[in-house]
Amino acid sequence: MYNNWEELELSIKNCNKCKLCSGRQNIVFGTGNKNAKLMFIGEGPGADEDRLR
């Protein structure tokens, strides 16, 4: 689907597939080892993370 992390991040920045896009100030893109073999995804970012990023 995406060739690299940069493509994924750009896709997220431009996404408007749901109503969340109208109220967000920023995207909250994860951090960590982008070459890891395993990824754990926890809860989504909330209003504080959106405001602070």
Q: Is the pTM of this model over 0.75?
A: no
Tokens matching residue 10: 């750009």
In tens, the pLDDT along 23-35 reads 888 787 777 888 8
Going by C-alpha positions, the residue among 22, 21, 24, 17 that lies closest to residue 49 is 24
- Listed by start position, the domains of the chain span 5-52
pLDDT on residue 46 = 72
Residue ranges in the chain whose pLDDT is less than 70: 43-45, 50, 53
pLDDT on residue 53 = 65
